Structure 1
C-alpha cells in the first residue's frame, strides 16, 4: 500500500512563494532581513498616511521643502558671488524693485540672493545643533533611566542646573570664549539645549524598563548594552524624533540671536547676520524696512514650519496627545 510520503519521495520541494531560487539569497521574501525591510516600509507608509491627515503638518513640510530646495540650488538661482562687496550690482539701500525684488543692503548687494544663501547656513546650523542637543540628551536620559542609583542622581542634578540657567546666556558665554565660527555656534547651542530631551527620555526609559520583555531579556543573559540598544532605545526613538523636530526651530532662532549679537561667523551669510548688518546700518531708525523684513520673515516661517511638523509627528507617534489637525 502506497502512502502519501512514498509518492512524494524524491520529488524536490517547491520553493516558497516569492523566493528568487538562489540558495542563500538575502533578498528573498522569506529571509529575516527582507521581512524586516518589509515591516519598515509598511511602518513608513502607515506613518505617512497618518501624517498627511494633519493639514498644519503638511503645510509646514511643504514650507521646509521649499526652503531646503532653495538652499540646495542657491548657486543656480542667484549665483555664487552674491556676498561680494566690491562688485555689488546695485546702489546702497535701494528700495525693492523689478531688478532687486527685496532691495539692496548697505553695500548694494541683492538682498534676495543674500536671503537665499543665508538659508544654507541657518538650516545647517539649526540641524547640526539640534542633532548634537538630542544626542546628548538621549545618551544621558537612557543611561540615567537604565542604571539609576548615584549615576542617575548626579546626571539629573546636572540636568536641573542646566535647566535653571538661562540657555541664551550660557550660549553667549560659550560663543564669547571660543573662536567665532559655525562650529562654535553649533556647540554653544547643542550643549545648552539638551536638558529637556534628557528628562523626557529618562521618563520614557523608566517606563520601558518596567515591561516584561526587559525582564526576559535580562533572564536570558542580555547585558546592559543589549538591553539599552535593542529594547530601550527603539522604544524611545519616536519621542526623540518628535523632540528633534521641535528643537530645530529653537536652534535656528538661537543661531539668529547669536549672529544678531555679533557672535556668529562673520565670513558667512546667515539670516541672523543680515539682521545684525541691518542694525549696524541703522535700518530701524532710517526706515529701511526692506533690510529687516525678508530675513526676519524667513526665520519666523522656518521656525513655525518646524514647529508644525514637530507637533504633527508627535501626534502621529502618540495619538493620545490629541494635537489639533
Structure 2
C-alpha cells in the first residue's frame, strides 16, 4: 500500500507551541479589555525604561557626593526640576537611579516570597496529614505576626545590604500565597485526571509538577504582581528606617535622607514629594496590573473597566 503526498500533521512540540501562542493571544485580548490594567502596564513600562536607561538619562556619576552639580537643598528650577538634595545632587537624577534598586528589590523579594509560598502550599495540599498540619500552623504563626516587625527584626540582625532586604521581605510575606495555593491544590487534587494519574503509577513528584503546578500557576502569576507592590513599599519602609544598603540610591533611601536633612521642618517639600510619588505610582501600577491579571484568569470577577 502506498501513500501520496506528505504528512502535514504537526508534531507534539509544534502543537504545544501553537497552544501556548493561542493561550497568550487569548490572555492579551482579555487583558486589553481592562483599561486600568493597561494604564498600570504603561506606567510600569515607563518606570522600567527609566531604570534601564538610568546611566544614559542621569549619568554614571549622578549619585556621587564629591562633584555635586548644585548647592545643598536648592529649590526646583530649570536646571534642577526637582531641586537638589542635602549634598547638592540633582534629585531628578537620583529618582531615576532609585528606580533601579526599588524595582529590582521588589521583583526579587516577590519572587522569593511566591516561591516559598507556592512550595509550601502545593506540598501541604498534596501530602496532607501531619505535614500539612505542621506547615499550616507555621503559616498561621507568620500570618498573625506583623510582617513589618519581622522584616525589621531580620534586617537588624543581618548585615545592611540589598540581599538582606530581599531576604527580610521574602521570608515574611509568603503566608498569604501559601494559603491560596494550598486551597487551589486541594481543589485540583479532587479532579478525575489526578485519580487516573495515580492509577497509572504516577508518583508524588509527577503529580505535583505535571498536574497540580500548571493548574495553580495562573493564581501564582496574579499573586506575584500583587506582592511586588507590597515588596516595593516594604523596601522603601526599611530604607526609610535606615536598614537598607547605605551605598546605593533607592526611593526609600531618598526619603530617609530627606528626614535626616530636616526637609519637613525647613519646608523643602521638593525633597520628599518626588520619591514618595514614585513609590506610590509604581505600587499602584503593579496593583492595577495584578487586579487585571486576576480578573482575566478568573472570569467570575467580571471585567473591571
TM-score, normalised by the number of residues in structure 1? 0.93
Shift of residue 323, structure 1, vs aligned partner: 5.4
2:198 is the counterpart of 1:207: no
What is the Cα deviation at residue 15 of structure 1?
A: 1.1
Partner of 1:316: 296
What is aligned with 1:103?
A: 83
Per-residue deviation, residues 186-225 of structure 1 (Å, max 9, x unmatched): 0000000000000000000000000000000000000000
Q: Which residue of the other structure, out of 67, 75, 92, is the alignment partner of 1:87?
A: 67
CA distance in 2, matches of 1:122, 1:108: 22
CA distance in 1, matches of 2:254, 2:173: 24
Q: 8 Å contact 2:122–2:185 — kept in the other structure?
A: yes
Q: CA deviation at 1:12?
A: 4.9
1:196 corresponds to which of 148, 159, 176: 176
Gaps of 5+ in 2: none
> For the Cα contact (< 8 Å) 2:114–2:177, is it kept in 1?
yes
Question: Mapping of 1:1-325 within 5 angstroms?
Answer: 9=1, 11-17=2-8, 30-322=10-302, 324-325=304-305
Question: What is the CA–CA distance in structure 2 between the aligned matches of 1:323 and 1:233, rounded to whole Å?
Answer: 26
Q: Take 1:211 and 1:180, find their aligned partners in 2: how far apart are those partners?
A: 48
Q: Which aligned segments of 4 or more residues in structure 1 are displaced greater than 6 angstroms?
A: none
Whether the 8 Å contact between 1:82 and 1:110 is mirrored in structure 2 is: yes
Structure 2 distance, partners of 1:88, 1:294, is: 19
Q: CA deviation at 1:121?
A: 0.1
When Rg is computed on C-alpha atoms for both structures, the one with the higher figure is 1
Instruction: Verify the 8 A CA contact 1:311 1:323 in the aligned structure 2.
Output: no
Which whole-Å CA distance do the structure 2 matches of 1:95 and 1:259 have between them?
24
Offset, 1:67: 0.3
Find the aligned partners of 1:120 and 1:310 in 2 and give their Cα distance: 21
Q: CA RMSD in A?
A: 0.8
1:13-38 CA-to-partner distances (Å, cap 9, x unmatched) read 31123xxxxxxxxxxx6111111011
SS at match of 1:94: coil
The CA deviation at 1:324 is 2.2
Tell me the equivalent position of 1:3.
none
Distance 1:144 1:185 in 2: 27
Q: Whose relative contact order is higher, 1 or 2, with alpha carbons under 8 Å and at least 6 apart?
A: 2
Cα distance in 2 for partners of 1:76, 1:60 equals: 25
Distance 1:180 1:239 in 2: 33
Deviations 1:86-122 (A, max 9, x none): 1000011111111111110000000000000000000
CA deviation map 1:162-187 (0-9, x unaligned): 00000000000000000000000000
Query: How far apart are residue 63 of structure 1 and its match?
Result: 0.1
CA distance in 1: counterparts of 2:71 and 2:216, whole angstroms: 54
Contact 2:34 2:303 in 1 (8 A): no
Partner secondary structure for residue 258 of structure 1: helix
Q: Is the 8 A contact 1:119 1:271 kept in 2?
A: yes
Q: Supply the distance in 2 between the matched residues of 1:280 and 1:85 (Cα, whole angstroms).
A: 16
